Amino acid sequence: MDGRPHLKLDAELCGRCPQGVTGCCAAPPVVAWADLGRIVLLGGRDWLLAELAAGRLYPCARGLALQRVENPDAAATGRAKKCVHHGERGCTIPPDRRSATCNYYVCDEAWSEAGDTRELRRARASQERLTEDYARWDLLLGERVRARHPDGPPWDEAFLDWLGAELSSLWAL
Ligand code: SF4
Ligand code: SF4
């Protein structure tokens, strides 16, 4: 496993997001199978269970969805709701507890405003490769989850540990 699955892009442009202070955290991404496996491998299994118990994460077809809450900036942003983890100064949870998309996504508008340097082209290539990798891992893990738990996963310690181990086996390929 290399460090790539944990890539985090720091985009200062998000601080001036054209969509306002809520940015794309108004519509948080699914914490999908590969994200969950990665969080488990980074020591977050019990954190996931606590988030599930608190209702900040809840089961959906592709893994777990993030709860959305009332947005205090709704009037200024036009976004009535936002991710439960979005605070006044952005995300309130560390990168190793976020979905990979939260860590590496930067929209086309932000990229085009950033300019065109060699470093930025490399960062963008990494983002695109990672998007493809996570899509592939999610597809494979989703098939394995459905084969093992046709009625839906039990969302317990054993299942999450298994998910981490399965992701690790994909990274080893
Ligand atoms: S990625 Fe784009 S839309 Fe999302 S917060 Fe950054 S600038 Fe805003
Ligand atoms: S987890 Fe953090 S980065 Fe991801 S949508 Fe929620 S607030 Fe935004």
Closest CA to 80 of 161, 22, 126: 22
Locate the ligand 1 atom nearest the alpha carbon of residue 13 and give its number. 7
| Residue at 16 is within a domain | no
Mutate which of 9, 10, 83, 106 to test ligand 1's pocket (most atoms within 8 Å of Cβ)? Answer: 106
This prediction has a pTM of 0.92
CB of 123 within 6 A of ligand 2: the answer is: no
Locate the ligand 1 atom nearest the alpha carbon of residue 109 and give its number. 2
Locate 21 and state its tokens: 């202070």
Q: What is the pLDDT of residue 16?
A: 79
| Residue at 41 is within a domain | yes
Ligand minimally distant from the alpha carbon of residue 26: 2
| Residue at 14 is within a domain | no
| Residue at 171 is within a domain | no
| Residue at 36 is within a domain | yes
User: What would the pLDDT profile of 15-24 be if each residue is shown by its tens digit?
Assistant: 778 888 889 9
CB of 86 within 6 A of ligand 2: the answer is: yes
Q: What is the pLDDT of residue 173?
A: 65
User: What would the pLDDT profile of 140-164 be if each residue is shown by its tens digit?
Assistant: 999 999 999 999 999 999 999 999 9
The binding-site residues of ligand 1, defined as CB within 6 angstroms of any ligand atom, are 11, 13-14, 17, 19, 23-24, 105-107, 109-110
Distance, CA 87 to ligand 2 centroid (Å)? 9
Number of domains within the chain = 1
Count of H-run helices and E-run strands, the chain: 7, 7
| Residue at 117 is within a domain | yes
Q: Which residue segment(s) compose the domain that 153 sits in?
A: 4-9+25-166
User: What would the pLDDT profile of 88-112 be if each residue is shown by its tens digit?
Assistant: 888 999 999 999 999 988 898 888 8
Ligand minimally distant from the alpha carbon of residue 18: 1
| Residue at 74 is within a domain | yes
Locate the ligand 1 atom nearest the alpha carbon of residue 11 and give its number. 6
Locate 126 and state its tokens: 């990494």
| Residue at 17 is within a domain | no
Task: Show the 3-state SS of 63-115.
Answer: EEEECEEECCCHHHHCCCEEECCEECCEECCCHHHCCHHHHHCCCHHHHHHHC
Q: What is the pLDDT of residue 11?
A: 67
Ligand minimally distant from the alpha carbon of residue 9: 1
